[in-house]
Structure 1
Amino acid sequence: MTVRSLKHIAVLASLSVLALPAMAHPGHAETAGFLAGLAHPFTGLDHLLAMLGVGIWGGQQRRSLAQPATFLGMMLLGALAGMAGLGIPGLEMGIAATVALTGMAIALALALPNWLGVSLVGIFAVAHGNAHGHELPAASAAFGFMLASAILLMTGRFAGQVMAERVVRVSGAAMTAAGLVLMGMN
């Protein structure tokens, strides 16, 4: 695959984000259960890209499992806060920004000290968890979105370790573009 074709793929992937507001998340009710929670991170581009991105970034750095573990733990804390009715001002814009920032970290192959990378990922996770907690407040839904998130994080981590560095960086650039488009939609 040539660099030119990779650029075309990145542009097409970024443009496809424009059609996503028409997609509906499953659940969004107190009655939503495990399956709605499980499907939720796969059906929202912001959550999908952020979780894959955190995994890719961690895999790219070939560090410990601290980043995905921190993401899951802090996402759960954010979800519990959301379920309790606590909100974060500018939440949707913040979530879109996490996509752009994670993509930028991948595109630049940003190697932060482990404590700083883990802290940044933890902040991102609180925002994503808080949104999940508001949208899917049932405990059974939380089990679903936690499992889906773990799958996405580990899938991204694997991809970050096995894909060619050039492909990883182009995917990061595409993720940054997608995050900027999402920010513009908020």
Structure 2
Amino acid sequence: MNHKNSNLILAGAALSLLAMPAFAHPGHGEALGFFDGLAHPFTGLDHLLAMLGLGLWGGQQRRSLAQPATFLAMMLVGAMVGMAGLTVPGLETGIAATVALTGLAIALALSLPGWLATSLVGLFALAHGNAHGQELPSASAAAGFMLASAVLLMAGRLAGQVLAERMLRAAGVAMTAAGVVLMGMN
């Protein structure tokens, strides 16, 4: 199979994920345990793509562990704010925008100064954490979604370090398209 066909298959597979319902959003149940939090980031396409994508981008750029550490710390801050009942205006659109922007950064192999890249990752994490905190407002659920987020970030980071640049860029294009579609759905 040539690279053009591989890229088309990869993009098609990524876009087919858009058909999945976004179960990681309010209104799908009131369970608040550790395992609910652990499953949460895997069941919402926007959260899943953003966390894998941020890991991919950091791995692609060979960044230090400052980005995933910042993401996790700021996500916890955002979760605490969400648990306190405070909502970030335009939250769902903002989360979808993080998917599109992360995909664009991967597609362009964007290299920003470390402080700027880490600051952006922190802002993205605040939005994701705020949504998590509103949807699963308990300490045990927070422990679960923090662990799941760490796993997704590190899996993305590893993939970003080992995948061919052409595959990463194709994944970035697919992620950007998915983010734009998700923004339109909000």
1:60-116 superposed Cα distances (whole Å, 9 cap, x missing partner): 011110000000000000000000001001000000000000000000000000000
Give the Cα separation in 2 of the matches to 1:51 and 1:132. Answer: 13
What one-letter code is carried by the residue in structure 1 that aligns with 2:106?
I
1:36-66 superposed Cα distances (whole Å, 9 cap, x missing partner): 0000001111000000011010000111100
Cα displacement (A) at 1:5: 1.4
Cα displacement (A) at 1:135: 0.3
Counterpart in 2 of 1:91? 91
Q: Residue 97 of structure 2: SS of its match in structure 1? A: helix
CA contact (8 A) 1:57 1:157 kept: yes
Q: State how 1:71-86 maps to structure 2 within 5 Å.
A: 71-86=71-86
Pairwise CA RMSD of aligned residues?
1.5
What one-letter code is carried by the residue in structure 1 that aligns with 2:23?
A
Does residue 55 (structure 1) correspond to residue 55 (structure 2)? The answer is: yes
Q: How many residues align?
A: 184
Counterpart in 2 of 1:37? 37
Structure 2 unmatched ranges of 5 or more: none
Cα displacement (A) at 1:7: 3.2
Runs (4+) of structure 1 moved beyond 3 Å? 25-28
CA contact (8 A) 2:14 2:171 kept: no
Counterpart in 2 of 1:2? 2
Counterpart in 2 of 1:128? 128
Counterpart in 1 of 2:161? 161
CA contact (8 A) 1:33 1:138 kept: yes
Cα displacement (A) at 1:20: 1.8
Cα displacement (A) at 1:4: 2.0
CA contact (8 A) 2:11 2:171 kept: no
Identity, in percent, stands at 71
Counterpart in 2 of 1:109? 109
What one-letter code is carried by the residue in structure 2 that aligns with 1:38?
L
Cα displacement (A) at 1:14: 4.4
What one-letter code is carried by the residue in structure 1 that aligns with 2:130?
N
Structure 1 unmatched ranges of 5 or more: none
What is the TM-score when the length of structure 2 is the normalising length?
A: 0.94
Counterpart in 2 of 1:24? 23
Q: Residue 20 of structure 2: SS of its match in structure 1? A: helix
Give the Cα separation in 2 of the matches to 1:180 and 1:6. Answer: 22
Change (3 A) 1:127 1:47: same
